[in-house]
Structure formats: C-alpha cells, structure tokens
Amino acid sequence: MRKTLDKTMTAAEVVGRLADGMTIGIGGWGPRRKPMALVREILRSPLKDLTVVAYGGPEVGMLCAAGKVRKVVFGFVSLDVIPLEPHFRAARERGEIDVWELDEGMLQLGLRAAAARLPFLPTRAGLGTDVLACNPALRTVRSPYADGEVLLAMPAIPLDAALLHVNESDVLGNTRIDGPDPFFDEWFARAAGRCYVSCEVLHDRLEDEDLARARNNPFERALVSGVVHAPGGAHPTSCGPAYGFDLPQLKAYCASAEQEAGFATYRKDVIGGTEASYLDKIGGMRHVLDLPLPVL
C-alpha cells in the first residue's frame, strides 16, 4: 500500500512551530496575496521579538502594532492605494523597531543568496543611492575579471520560516498560484529552513496537468513543511483571480492608527479569537468572493 505524506496542519499548529526571536519571511506583495490567516494566528499567540522580512503590507503593520516585531527587513511597506502603512510608520517613528531598508531588487537577491547557501550576491542595485548611506554595514566588491567593476555585495537573508498564501495546494505540498504574478514567493520558500503555506482550495492530490505550467507552480513540494486550508486566508489583501482586496476593511484598519488604543480595539473586535469569528465579522466568504479584482 502506498503511503501518502499528509502535510496538512491548522494555523495554530504552524504558529506553534515558530519561536520567539525567529526571522520570518512573509510572501505576497503589499496588499496582494498575503498569508493573513497565518498572521492573524500569530496575533492571537504570545509569539514576540520577531524579525519580519517582506515586501510589506498590512501584515507588517499589524505585527508591529501588536508588539510582535523586533526588526523589519523590507523593500517597502505599503497598501498601494493607501501609500503609507500607518501602524508600521508609527512604530518606526516611535523607535519601537529596528529596520533594514533595502532596494526591492536587493531584497530579492538577499533571499536568492540564502537560497543558494551563498554569503552574498553581487549587484548594481543600490549603488549611488542613499541605501548605502542608510546601511553603512553593506560592503562592495571588485570584479576579479578584466572589467574590474565595483559592485554591491548584497548579503544573504536566511529565514527560519516562510509563510505564503496560494490559490490551491494538495496535502503533499504541491501548490498553484493562479494570479497574474507569483511575486517572489519562490525565493522566500527557498531561503527558509521551513515553509508553511495556506491555501484557498485544498486537494488530496493535484494532477500533473494542474502543475504543468511553471508559473503556476514556482516551488517544489519538498520545500513545504505544512499546508493550512484557509479559504479567504488572504483577506483583506487580494488573492487573484478569486477576489480583490477589501478597501473598506483596509481603511477601517488604517483608521485604528488614529485612535487611542485603536489597534487593540481592532484586534479584539475584528480579528477576534478564531478565524471563523473573523470571517463572520467581515461578512463571510460570500463577501470575500464578491470583492472585485483591482484594475491596474
């Protein structure tokens, strides 16, 4: 009889495998395909002192507002139509977190260096900019070939764990990303010691034809340590083509930054104690699936 390696877990089980002080990479891009169900489970947990690596959106702000974060490594933290993520901005202005602000391409190369188990990768990104002034620990290297070009040596950004959200997965950890852009999720998965994936749809087994297009299946199942079935798990961010981002909910979240103890109230009244109660508060899966996709 053939044995099947079933990697399914609950969100609480994933968070139970994380530890204080870990470096956590969070996939997606701004308000797009963020693993928010997993982030909400972190918010419900005692986990703290995290280093968060991300092309950031509301997950970064929420974790900062909840006091879960020691440091953020980022290319940006934005909600797109709301350019500045207010809780991240407030935490940074108050000096509550350390930051490592990078060019978007540098962040990708840091993940790729970690994925290749290299100490750094050379790049022209960042040269001649204030990125170097803001990060005096960065070093340059000279090409050993005839060109002799001076390049920035982008250090590896190894992750203890990566959290990603995908459209579909099977219990083995085969995944599909059906939106127009896989972003850099592949490199988060490859740079991490462990990778946990939440998904909209869970299958017993995705067939080979479902995995045939490399764009839809950018990383191998061997990289996936656990799979969480989380319909609506990217809300309030988008998960194309299933649903768009929830701008009224994002505005309500941002408004909490202007109120005394605003995020604590938002956390209690909206995020709540379970994912089921969260979905109920925001109008259920029918509301999520009715959210229009953004037109860019």
Enumerate the domain spans of the chain: 11-103+159-245, 120-155
Checking if the pLDDT of 45 tops 90, the result is: yes
Contact call for residues 189 and 159 (beta carbons, < 8 A):
no
- Please give the helix or strand (H or E) that residue 227 lies within, else none: strand 224-229
Tokens 């962040």 sit on residue? 107
Query: Which CATH superfamily, name and number, covers 11-103+159-245?
Result: Glutaconate Coenzyme A-transferase (3.40.1080.10)
pTM: 0.95
- Single out the residue of 41, 42, 46, 72 nearest to residue 57, CA to CA: 72
- Helix and strand element counts for the chain (H, E): 11, 11
The per-residue pLDDT for range 74-121, each reduced to its tens digit, is 999 999 999 999 999 999 999 999 999 999 999 999 999 999 999 999
Structure-token pair, residue 202: 């869970």
The per-residue pLDDT for range 182-239, each reduced to its tens digit, is 999 999 999 999 999 999 999 998 877 666 565 688 999 999 999 999 999 999 999 9
Tokens 């605003």 sit on residue? 262
Structure-token pair, residue 262: 């605003």
